[in-house]
Structure 1
Amino acid sequence: MRKLVYGMNMTLDGYVSVVGDDIGWSGPPGRELFQWWLDHERATGLSLYGRKLWETMSSHWPTADRQPGVTPAESEFARIWRDTPRVVFSSTLGEVAGNARLVGGDAVAEITRLKSGDGGPMSIGGATLAGAAMRAGLIDEYVIAAHPVLVGGGTPFFTALDSWVNLDLVETRTFPGGVVLSRYETRR
């Protein structure tokens, strides 16, 4: 069975974006944090995206390595991003490009099917999509990169749940600029 990992940058008060889907609160990631996310992407066998995250990522990473001033790490991330298979969940998009396929039906059923297969870990991104997987008990690991900023509202990292989910802390690390990364595994 494949492992499903939900990880994103978030504000200290728990939001992945502010009203209007603005993620400008995070600024560009520092070199060490970017390297951590690059290593995470490299270890991912399949990426699952909600529509909003897909639109954000696909507007930049397909050609990011051809932009002026790109760092070697950014160039490598762009290459890995293009090469990693992705499943995009959306009922409003008509098509997706690159190494991606579109699913417009039951996200929980498809994620359950994908988890039961063979392969490397899967990452899930986008708070709405991850929230559905969270409520269905499908998330195996949470990765939280908490930035030292309070925004007061927006799209929360976590969704409302019907019951508790017990977690075990498996890693914590502080990055320059005060970003604290924590990884938790779901206790089964």
Structure 2
Amino acid sequence: MRKLIYGMNLTLDGYIAAPGDDIGWSGPPSEELFQWWLDYEQQSDLTLYGRKLWETMSAYWPTGDQQPGATPAEIRFARNWRDTPKVVFSSTLDQVDGNARLVTGDALAEITRLKAEDGGPMTIGGATLAGAAVRAGLVDEYAIATHPVLVGSGTPFFTALDGWVKLNLVETRTFPGGVVLTRYETRR
């Protein structure tokens, strides 16, 4: 059975995007934080995206290694992003490009099926998709990079839950700029 990991950058008050889907609050990550996210992505055998995050990532990373001034880590990230298989969940998209396939039907049924397969870890991103997976008890681990900024409202990292989810802390780490990474495993 595969492990499902939900990880994103978020504000201290718990949002992954400010109103209007604004993610500018995070600014460019430090080299150390970017390297951590690269390592995180490289451990994943399959990435699951909601529509909004897919549109954000697919607008830049297919050619991120060809951008003027791309750092060695950005070049590796872009190449890994292209090479890693992706599943995009959307009821409004007609197609996706690159190493991705589109699922327009029951997201939870497909995530459950993918988790039951043999293989390495899967990562999931996008608040709506991940929120549904959290509520269904499908997420095994959380990787949270908390930035020292308050935005007041927006898209929350955690959506409303039907019950408690107990977690075990497995890692804490600080990065330049006051970013604090915490990783938790779900208690089963």
What TM-score comes out, normalization by structure 2 length?
1.00
Report deviation, 1:81: 0.2
Instruction: Determine if the alignment matches structure 1 residue 82 to structure 2 residue 85.
Output: no
User: What pairs with 1:30-109 in structure 2 (closer than 5 Å)?
Assistant: 30-109=30-109
What are the Cα deviations for residues 10-58 of structure 1, in whole angstroms up to 9, with x where unaligned?
A: 0000000011111000001100000000000111000000000000000
Instruction: Determine if the alignment matches structure 1 residue 17 to structure 2 residue 13.
Output: no
Report deviation, 1:167: 0.2
Instruction: Determine if the alignment matches structure 1 residue 146 to structure 2 residue 146.
Output: yes
Local SS of the residue matching 1:177:
helix
Residue 127 (structure 1) aligns with? 127
Report deviation, 1:117: 0.1
What TM-score comes out, normalization by structure 1 length?
1.00
Report deviation, 1:187: 0.3
Local SS of the residue matching 1:161:
coil
Residue 175 (structure 2) aligns with? 175
Counting matched residue pairs gives 188
Amino acid at match of 2:86: R
User: More helix per residue: 1 or 2?
Assistant: 2
Name structure 1 gaps, 5 residues minimum: none
Q: Which runs of 4+ in 1 moved over 2 A?
A: none
For 1:167 and 1:124, how far apart are their aligned partners in 2? 18
Percent identity, please: 79
